[in-house]
């Protein structure tokens, strides 16, 4: 639990956030966050990465040789679990299924594929020198 | 190896030692602390007034420092740093050499220059010594005040209240906690505090602390006054930067040691962390950013490439005098243009404000008072920049929760029957989607009606309705698993067995397409273990989350743990072991319907530790997480019961041990009753055994749930050996032929020829497969292993049990509340 003492200096410098879209394109990326080594992630599955207070679910599609990342929270019941879900494809589109109630989301667009649940944020992923990097806009 | 001196043994200084030591055994760590005791938890200082001892508040006992080879000098103040020679000098004259110096000197209370501030009865609220003085003086007086209505001021007010004093709070600003909450929030909080007996004075500028030697009252600039006998000043903090100043390190003109993104001061070998550091013009008065700083510096000292400190989110949640107070993101909506939505309920002392972006798409920040249960959700919505629902006000107004159904046989249901109670969808709604609007898949039905999208409990019924309706329209329905496999479960069973396939990937490569999905992966995982019974943890990512982590996921994302208690029989010693372990890990315990004990609220990283202890006490996995044999319930039977005709407990334990770990298309439950009174409710199980004078009656195909169904009598008065043989055959036949996620009752309902046909196959062996079924069962039984024992003994498998892959901390968003002396997770989001 956070606990705040009165401060003598309160320039509240919360970083500005890009509010226009839930998908960040490579060109919008301000930080490539070096998350962990490739081998740390399970094959054909996901794991959760922490960046400050942000929880990011990262998925290793070994069969496709592709990587995807999205918010770890499922918007349905606001649970921090998407990284524990099963990955798969829906007519070729890579997707993640929430372990709680099996809502599925496209990992390309963040859109919910089986209900009208709101979309999730997805992040670009790069592999460099054996490390997984996640592109963040702020 | 290098020598690291830490100046200051507060919460952040201690955390630094912990972080550095966990990463390096070699570095010498020497700590000089000015206070007489080791680091203690300043966050919970006020609990010192309600019974906690100084010992309770310690971050770690003195022995920790010894065990971890951290040399701690208390009551020793560093007064000088010689940067050229890299030495420090303490007030006792001792000189010590460092390679790296970490300043964690924290802050002291800021005391404003008000006339009379030196009087007896004026205190600050900062250290345990301060508290001792307040407690001593508090015994002699009746009326006291706190100067400062910020967070710490209100904590101090709580302390005075606990001392039984008439308590006042004086705040200069027009509201309480001016940095965290707005005027309305302050009004709600003040109202609540006044009910607790604290008098709040806002807009008061103290001119003079009046008295003659000792304190008698306060005089304010507006001419008013307040008679009190004791004053606690809590008007802010001052970084303890005197050491830095004296050694010409760069300091901020308003106090604090300037650091860069590496937390380095203007001297390469000197770092500053916690409240003494000024980063980018900010002093962080929270422990969380302090801990983050400690981690960053520890990593740099051991030469590990580290992230940078780039500022910290100031969202915060706490319980203040029993009142929840939280602020997150941009609480005042001043950073970017925003629109506030607020809900205020003074009667219950609740205030909720959310600031949404002008386009209505995102949550920017807000304030929660009185009920901060949604803090984690909202905070995450802000940091994830999650899209808002169309009616964002629903987030703070909400609607009551709904119940969840379960499914079985639907042919006989009327069109008005409610199938999905979450979305209130009737059978007629679904049928008309199929017959009139062309729905041909479950996905079509989900999209068009929202059925199955709430709790998902109606999915099997929706599947059945789809199938029956399509058949009635003359469609030929091939029972394929999903878009990735053009085969039914039974066909895949044969393919796997004949081709000797042992992994999902090989199966997908040879007879499937695409990348698989959440339907075929667990179905194939279940088939693989029903055929080979190999360790499922080897293919963890094709398992449903319960099987992946070998525990049952519950609300909030923690897991529950169920050790096997065969037949419901347990020794007092083992009962105490469960009690001890549950207490140690703070788990919620409840007796299950299957005569065992469920322990809830375990974090994913705790599961291997908990199981290591359970296994040491002689327990093994209960497979409550799997589509597998769960329990064999029993009544006490002929050993004790005056009516019992057979020893039902011994038989139940034998049966449970025989089939433990057996994976099936769905969960399996059994029971053994010791006489016709049927106290074990065997007729509501997948297979039930009832004792007779001559032997056993065997019933099959029953279940409870939303559509309860009694099991049917397969044979009567058979001896024990025959009874076991027939159960072997029955279970194996079911495992080989049932569709995924189909209980025995539903399977039997759909089986052509029904019970008579089943009896022919199982009892009369009409297909000549009886012996084969028995052999297959024998192999599965021979391959039994306790999955948890395997995991606990295998460091590589254990490593998978953590929330973050790049950080050893557990999930910080987990939150619990208390109910009837146990913890439960905070309620989740309702729509």
Token pair for residue B352? Answer: 């909720």
Fold of A26-136: Rieske Iron-sulfur Protein (2.102.10)
The range of the structural domain enclosing residue B230 comes to 111-235
Q: Pick from B794, B790, B801: which is nearest to B607 by CA? A: B801
**Longest CA–CA separation in chain A, Å:** 57
Q: Is the pLDDT of residue A133 over 50?
A: yes
Residue that is written with structure tokens 């909506």 in the block: B333
Most confident of A66-70, B326-330, B705-709: A66-70
Q: Pick from A130, A113, A103: which is nearest to A37 by CA? A: A130
Q: Which residues of A touch B384 (CB under 8 A)?
A: 54, 71, 73, 121
Element (H, E) at B397: helix B394-397
User: Rounded to an integer, what distance in angstroms lies between the CA atom of residue B635 and that of residue B788?
Assistant: 28
Token pair for residue B67? Answer: 């065990």
Q: Is residue B273 a part of any domain in this protein?
A: yes
Grade residue B787 by pLDDT with cuts at 50, 70 and 90. very high
Q: Do A9 and B283 touch (CB under 8 A)?
A: yes
Q: Is the pLDDT of residue B347 over 70?
A: yes
CATH number, domain of B668, equals 3.30.413.10
CATH number, domain of B346, equals 3.30.390.30
Element (H, E) at A51: strand A45-51
Q: Residue B736 contacts by C-beta under 8 Å, 6 or more apart in sequence?
A: B490, B493, B530
Mean pLDDT of chain B: 89
CA A78, A82, A84, A85 dihedral sign is positive
Is B469 exposed, middle or buried, given 0-12, 13-18 or 19+ CB atoms closer than 10 A? buried
Q: Check if the beta carbon of residue B409 is closer than 8 Å to that of residue B707.
A: yes
Encode pLDDT of B696-755 as tens digits: 999 999 998 878 899 999 999 999 999 999 999 999 999 999 988 899 999 998 888 889
Q: Check if the beta carbon of residue B407 is closer than 8 Å to that of residue B461.
A: yes
Q: Is the same domain home to B46 and B186? A: no
Q: Pick from B351, B381, B352, B376: which is nearest to B364 by CA? A: B381
Encode pLDDT of B357-413 as tens digits: 988 888 999 999 998 877 767 877 787 777 787 778 878 875 433 232 223 346 666
Token pair for residue B353? Answer: 């404000």
User: Rounded to an integer, what distance in angstroms lies between the CA atom of residue B4 and that of residue B302?
Assistant: 11
Grade residue B296 by pLDDT with cuts at 50, 70 and 90. very high
Residue of B nearest to A12 (CA): B282
Q: Which residues of B touch A4 (CB under 8 A)?
A: 151, 179-180, 285-286, 314, 316
Q: Which residues of A touch B550 (CB under 8 A)?
A: none
CATH number, domain of B207, equals 3.50.50.60
Q: Check if the beta carbon of residue B671 is closer than 8 Å to that of residue B634.
A: yes
Q: Do B453 and A13 touch (CB under 8 A)?
A: no
Q: What pLDDT is stored for residue B402 in this prediction?
A: 29
Q: Pick from A129, A102, A127, A123: which is nearest to A113 by CA? A: A102
Q: Is the same domain home to B247 and B231? A: no
Q: Pick from B543, B552, B536: which is nearest to A44 by CA? A: B543
Least confident of B372-381, B543-552, B606-615, B642-651: B372-381
Q: Residue B699 contacts by C-beta under 8 Å, 6 or more apart in sequence?
A: B682, B683, B685, B687, B688, B689, B690, B710, B711, B712, B713, B714
Q: Is the same domain home to B264 and B157? A: no
Grade residue B442 by pLDDT with cuts at 50, 70 and 90. confident
pTM over 0.90: no
Mapped onto helix, strand or coil, the DSSP state of residue B530 is helix
Token pair for residue B92? Answer: 């006792």
How much is the average pLDDT of B445-454? 78
CA B719, B723, B729, B730 dihedral sign is positive
Least confident of B59-68, B380-389, B592-601: B380-389
Q: Is the same domain home to B119 and B78? A: no
Q: How many CB atoms lie within 10 A of CB A104?
A: 24
Q: Is residue B125 a part of any domain in this protein?
A: yes
How much is the average pLDDT of B112-137? 90
- ∠ CA B495-B522-B769 to the nearest 5 degrees? 40
Q: What pLDDT is stored for residue A15 in this prediction?
A: 35
Q: Pick from B354, B364, B469: which is nearest to B411 by CA? A: B469
DSSP symbols for B166-227: EEEEE-SSSSSSTTT--HHHHHHHHHHHHHTTEEEE-S--EEEEEEESEEEEEEETTS-EEE
Q: What pLDDT is stored for residue A10 in this prediction?
A: 34
Q: Which residues of A touch B256 (CB under 8 A)?
A: 9
Q: Residue B411 contacts by C-beta under 8 Å, 6 or more apart in sequence?
A: B464, B468
Encode pLDDT of B271-284 as tens digits: 999 999 999 988 88
Least confident of B182-186, B475-479, B493-497, B769-773: B475-479
Encode pLDDT of B752-780 as tens digits: 888 999 999 999 998 889 999 999 999 99
User: Rounded to an integer, what distance in angstroms lies between the CA atom of residue B37 and that of residue B33?
Assistant: 8
Q: Residue B492 contacts by C-beta under 8 Å, 6 or more apart in sequence?
A: B481, B485, B507, B511, B523, B524, B527
B558/chain A closest Cα distance in angstroms: 10
Q: Do B285 and A7 touch (CB under 8 A)?
A: yes
If one counts the domains in chain B, the total is: 4
Encode pLDDT of B661-696 as tens digits: 999 999 999 999 999 999 999 999 999 999 999 999
Least confident of B40-49, B382-391, B425-434: B382-391
**Pairing mode, strands B425-426 and B552-553:** unpaired
Q: Do A13 and B281 touch (CB under 8 A)?
A: yes
Return the CA Rg of chain B. 34
Encode pLDDT of A110-122 as tens digits: 999 988 888 999 9
* Domain's final residue, options B742, B757, B782: B782
* Domain's final residue, options B192, B216, B235: B235
A125/chain B closest Cα distance in angstroms: 16
Q: Check if the beta carbon of residue B516 is closer than 8 Å to that of residue B507.
A: no
Q: Residue B400 contacts by C-beta under 8 Å, 6 or more apart in sequence?
A: B830
Q: Is the pLDDT of residue B297 over 80?
A: yes
Q: What pLDDT is stored for residue B471 in this prediction?
A: 79
Q: Do B151 and A35 touch (CB under 8 A)?
A: no
Q: Residue B137 contacts by C-beta under 8 Å, 6 or more apart in sequence?
A: B121, B123, B230
Q: How far apart are the first and last CA of chain A?
A: 24
Sheet-wide strand order for B78-82: B78-82, B87-90, B95-97
Q: What are phi and psi of B286, to 5 degrees?
A: -115, 155
Q: Which residues of B touch A81 (CB under 8 A)?
A: 545, 553, 557
Grade residue B476 by pLDDT with cuts at 50, 70 and 90. low
Q: Is the same domain home to B336 and B363? A: yes
Q: Is residue B151 a part of any domain in this protein?
A: yes
Helical H runs in B284-348?
Answer: 287-301
How much is the average pLDDT of B489-512? 90
Which of B287, B311, B556 has the CB atom closest to A3's CB atom?
B287
Q: Do A13 and B311 touch (CB under 8 A)?
A: yes
The pLDDT > 90 percentage for chain B reads 60
Q: What pLDDT is stored for residue B425 in this prediction?
A: 80
Q: Is residue B664 a part of any domain in this protein?
A: yes
Q: What are phi and psi of B323, to 5 degrees?
A: -110, 130
How much is the average pLDDT of B24-44? 91
Q: Is the pLDDT of residue B310 over 70?
A: yes
Q: What pLDDT is stored for residue A24 in this prediction?
A: 55
B359/chain A closest Cα distance in angstroms: 9
Element (H, E) at B610: helix B607-616
Q: Do B282 and A9 touch (CB under 8 A)?
A: yes
Is B28 exposed, middle or buried, given 0-12, 13-18 or 19+ CB atoms closer than 10 A? middle
Encode pLDDT of B207-232 as tens digits: 999 988 788 999 999 999 999 999 99
Q: What are phi and psi of A47, to 5 degrees?
A: -155, 160
Q: Do A42 and B150 touch (CB under 8 A)?
A: no
Which of B278, B362, B380 has the CB atom closest to A78's CB atom?
B380
* Domain's final residue, options B371, B397, B423: B397
Q: Check if the beta carbon of residue B273 is closer than 8 Å to that of residue B294.
A: yes
Alpha-carbon A127 to chain mean position? 15
The pLDDT > 70 percentage for chain B reads 96
Q: What pLDDT is stored for residue A16 in this prediction?
A: 35
How much is the average pLDDT of B501-530? 92
Q: Is the pLDDT of residue B456 over 70?
A: no
DSSP assigned state of B382: H
B92/chain A closest Cα distance in angstroms: 32
Annotate B675-717 with three-state secondary structure.
Answer: CCCCCCCHHHCCEEEEECCCCEEEEECCECCCCCECCEEEEEE
Helical H runs in B458-519?
Answer: 459-472, 489-499, 504-511
User: Rounded to an integer, what distance in angstroms lies between the CA atom of residue B144 and that of residue B158?
Assistant: 12
User: Rounded to an integer, what distance in angstroms lies between the CA atom of residue B737 and that of residue B490?
Assistant: 5
Q: What pLDDT is stored for residue A5 in this prediction?
A: 39
A127/chain B closest Cα distance in angstroms: 16
Q: Which residues of B touch A97 (CB under 8 A)?
A: 517-518
- ∠ CA B105-B111-B112 to the nearest 5 degrees? 140
DSSP assigned state of B356: E
User: Rounded to an integer, what distance in angstroms lies between the CA atom of residue B108 and that of residue B416?
Assistant: 71
Encode pLDDT of B617-644 as tens digits: 999 999 999 999 999 999 999 999 999 9
CA B793, B797, B798, B799 dihedral sign is positive
Return the CA Rg of chain A. 16
- ∠ CA B196-B197-B200 to the nearest 5 degrees? 105
Q: Is the pLDDT of residue A19 over 50?
A: no
User: Rounded to an integer, what distance in angstroms lies between the CA atom of residue B18 and that of residue B518?
Assistant: 41
Grade residue B298 by pLDDT with cuts at 50, 70 and 90. very high
Q: Is the pLDDT of residue A27 over 70?
A: no
Cβ-based contacts under 8 A for chains A and B: 248
Q: Is residue B203 a part of any domain in this protein?
A: yes
The domain segmentation of chain A, as residue ranges, is: 26-136
Sheet-wide strand order for A104-106: A86-90, A93-97, A104-106
Q: What pLDDT is stored for residue B279 in this prediction?
A: 93
Q: Check if the beta carbon of residue B208 is closer than 8 Å to that of residue B235.
A: no
Q: What pLDDT is stored for residue A25 in this prediction?
A: 59
Q: What pLDDT is stored for residue B707 in this prediction?
A: 80
Q: Is the same domain home to B636 and B734? A: yes
User: Rounded to an integer, what distance in angstroms lies between the CA atom of residue B705 and that of residue B157?
Assistant: 53
Grade residue A89 by pLDDT with cuts at 50, 70 and 90. very high
**Burial code of B253-270, b = ≥16 C-beta within 10 A, e = fewer?**
eebbbbbeeebbbebeeb
Q: How far apart are the first and last CA of chain B?
A: 58
B217/chain A closest Cα distance in angstroms: 25
Q: Is residue B550 a part of any domain in this protein?
A: no
Which of A36, A76, A89 has the CB atom closest to B515's CB atom?
A89
User: Rounded to an integer, what distance in angstroms lies between the CA atom of residue B439 and that of residue B452?
Assistant: 15
């Amino acid at each position: 639990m956070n606990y705040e003492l009165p401060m003598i200096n309160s320039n509240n410098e919360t970083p500005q956030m890009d509010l226009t879209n839930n998908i960040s394109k490579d060109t919008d990326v301000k930080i490539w966050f070096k998350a962990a080594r490739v081998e740390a992630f399970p094959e054909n599955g996901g794991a959760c990465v922490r960046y400050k207070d942000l929880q990011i679910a990262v998925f290793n599609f070994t069969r496709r040789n592709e990587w995807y990342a999205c918010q770890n929270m499922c918007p349905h019941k606001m649970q921090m679990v998407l990284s524990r879900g099963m990955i798969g494809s829906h007519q070729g589109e890579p997707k993640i299924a929430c372990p709680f109630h099996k809502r599925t989301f496209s990992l390309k667009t963040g859109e919910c594929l089986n209900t009208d649940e709101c979309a999730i944020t997805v992040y670009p992923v790069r592999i460099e020198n054996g490390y997984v990097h996640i592109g963040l806009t702020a | 190896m290098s020598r690291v001196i830490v100046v200051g043994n507060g919460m952040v200084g201690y955390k630094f030692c912990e972080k550095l030591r966990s990463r390096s055994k070699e570095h010498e760590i020497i700590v000089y602390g000015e206070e007489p005791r080791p680091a203690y938890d300043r966050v919970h200082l006020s609990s010192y007034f309600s019974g906690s001892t100084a010992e309770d508040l310690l971050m770690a006992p003195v022995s920790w420092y010894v065990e971890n080879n951290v040399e701690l000098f208390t009551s020793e103040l560093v007064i000088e740093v010689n940067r050229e020679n890299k030495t420090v000098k303490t007030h006792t004259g001792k000189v010590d050499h460092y390679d790296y110096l970490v300043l964690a000197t924290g802050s002291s209370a800021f005391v404003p220059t008000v006339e009379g501030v030196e009087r007896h009865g004026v205190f600050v609220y900062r250290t345990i010594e301060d508290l001792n003085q307040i407690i001593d003086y508090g015994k002699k007086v009746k009326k006291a005040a706190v100067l400062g209505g910020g967070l710490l001021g209100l904590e101090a007010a709580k302390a005075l209240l606990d001392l039984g004093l008439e308590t006042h709070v004086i705040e200069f600003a027009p509201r309480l906690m001016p940095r965290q909450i707005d005027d309305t929030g302050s009004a709600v909080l003040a109202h609540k505090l006044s009910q607790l007996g604290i008098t709040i004075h806002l807009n008061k500028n103290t001119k003079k602390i009046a008295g003659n030697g000792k304190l008698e009252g306060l005089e304010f600039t507006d001419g008013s006054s307040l008679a009190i006998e004791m004053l606690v000043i809590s008007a802010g903090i001052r970084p303890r930067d005197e050491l830095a100043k004296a050694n010409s390190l760069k300091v901020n003109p308003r106090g604090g040691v300037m650091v860069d993104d590496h937390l380095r001061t203007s001297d390469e070998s000197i770092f500053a962390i916690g409240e003494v550091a000024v980063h980018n013009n900010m002093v962080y008065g929270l422990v969380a950013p302090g801990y983050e700083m400690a981690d960053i510096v520890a990593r740099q000292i051991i030469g590990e490439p580290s992230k940078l400190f780039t500022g910290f989110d100031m969202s915060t949640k706490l319980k203040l005098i029993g009142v929840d107070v939280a602020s997150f993101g941009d609480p005042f909506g001043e950073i970017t243009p925003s629109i506030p939505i607020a809900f205020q309920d003074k009667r219950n002392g609740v205030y909720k404000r959310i600031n949404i972006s002008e386009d209505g798409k995102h949550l920017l920040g807000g304030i929660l008072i009185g009920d901060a249960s949604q803090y984690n959700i909202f905070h995450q919505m802000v940091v994830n920049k999650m899209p808002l629902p169309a009616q964002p006000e629903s987030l703070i107004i909400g609607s009551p929760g709904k119940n969840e159904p379960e499914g079985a046989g639907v042919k006989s249901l009327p069109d008005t029957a409610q199938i999905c109670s979450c979305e209130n969808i009737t059978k007629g709604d679904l049928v008309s989607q199929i017959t009139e609007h062309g729905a041909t898949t479950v996905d079509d039905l989900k999209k068009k009606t929202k059925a199955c999208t709430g709790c998902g409990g109606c999915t099997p019924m929706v599947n059945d309705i789809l199938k029956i309706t399509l058949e009635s329209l003359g469609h030929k329905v091939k029972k394929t698993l999903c878009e990735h496999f053009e085969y039914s479960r039974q066909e895949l069973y044969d393919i796997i067995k004949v081709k000797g396939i042992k992994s999902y990937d090989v199966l997908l490569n040879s007879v499937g397409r695409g990348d698989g999905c959440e339907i075929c992966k667990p179905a194939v995982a279940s088939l693989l273990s029903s055929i080979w019974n190999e360790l499922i943890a080897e293919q963890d990512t094709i398992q449903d989350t319960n099987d992946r982590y070998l525990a049952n996921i519950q609300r909030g994302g923690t897991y529950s743990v169920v050790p096997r208690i065969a037949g419901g029989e347990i020794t007092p010693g083992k009962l105490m072991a469960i009690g001890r372990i549950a207490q140690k890990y703070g788990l919620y315990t409840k007796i299950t319907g299957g005569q065992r004990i469920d322990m809830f609220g375990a974090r994913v990283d705790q599961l291997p530790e908990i199981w290591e202890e359970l296994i040491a006490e002689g327990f093994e996995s209960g497979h409550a997480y799997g589509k597998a044999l769960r329990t064999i319930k029993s009544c006490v039977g002929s050993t004790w019961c005056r009516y019992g005709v057979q020893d039902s407990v011994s038989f139940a334990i034998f049966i449970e041990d025989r089939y433990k770990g057996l994976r099936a298309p769905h969960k399996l439950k059994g029971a053994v009753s010791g006489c016709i009174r049927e106290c074990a409710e065997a007729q509501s199980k997948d297979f039930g055994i009832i004792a007779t004078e001559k032997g056993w009656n065997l019933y099959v195909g029953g279940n409870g749930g939303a559509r309860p169904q009694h099991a049917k009598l397969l044979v009567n008065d058979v001896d024990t050996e025959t009874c076991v043989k027939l159960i072997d055959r029955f279970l194996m036949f079911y495992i080989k032929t049932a569709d995924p996620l189909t209980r025995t009752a539903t399977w039997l309902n759909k089986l052509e020829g029904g019970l008579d046909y089943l009896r022919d196959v199982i009892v009369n062996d009409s297909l000549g497969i009886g012996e084969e079924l028995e052999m297959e069962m024998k192999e599965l039984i021979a391959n039994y292993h306790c999955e948890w024992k395997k995991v606990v003994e295998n460091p590589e498998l254990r490593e998978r049990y953590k929330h973050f892959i790049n950080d050893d901390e557990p999930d910080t968003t987990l939150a619990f509340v208390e109910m009837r002396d146990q913890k439960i997770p905070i309620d989740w989001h309702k729509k």
